[in-house]
Amino acid sequence: MNSILDLLLYVPITLVILSVLEACKQDDPKKIVRRTALNFGALTAVLLIGCVVIFFVNKYF
């Protein structure tokens, strides 16, 4: 249960970090939203791929 809560809390904090950093870099709100979504997607994909790799490493090695 705790790990699920941690996962749920990952989403808002990551979005806040990415959007604030992006807002520091540029002024256009559309660009900020697009780049935040892109970075969030990339970060989440890396996290998920890492999870899958670790899962298979633990299972078969």
Q: Which residues bind other proteins (CB under 8 A)?
A: 1-3, 5-6, 9, 12-13, 16-17, 19-21, 23-24, 27, 29
Quote the least distance from Cβ 17 to other proteins, whole Å: 6
Distances (CA, A) of 38 to 12, 13, 48, 54, 61: 15, 16, 15, 24, 34
Task: Pick between residue 33 and residue 49 the one whose CB is nearest to other proteins.
Answer: 33
Give the number of other CB atoms < 10 A from CB of residue 52: 10
CB of 57 to other proteins, least distance (A): 26
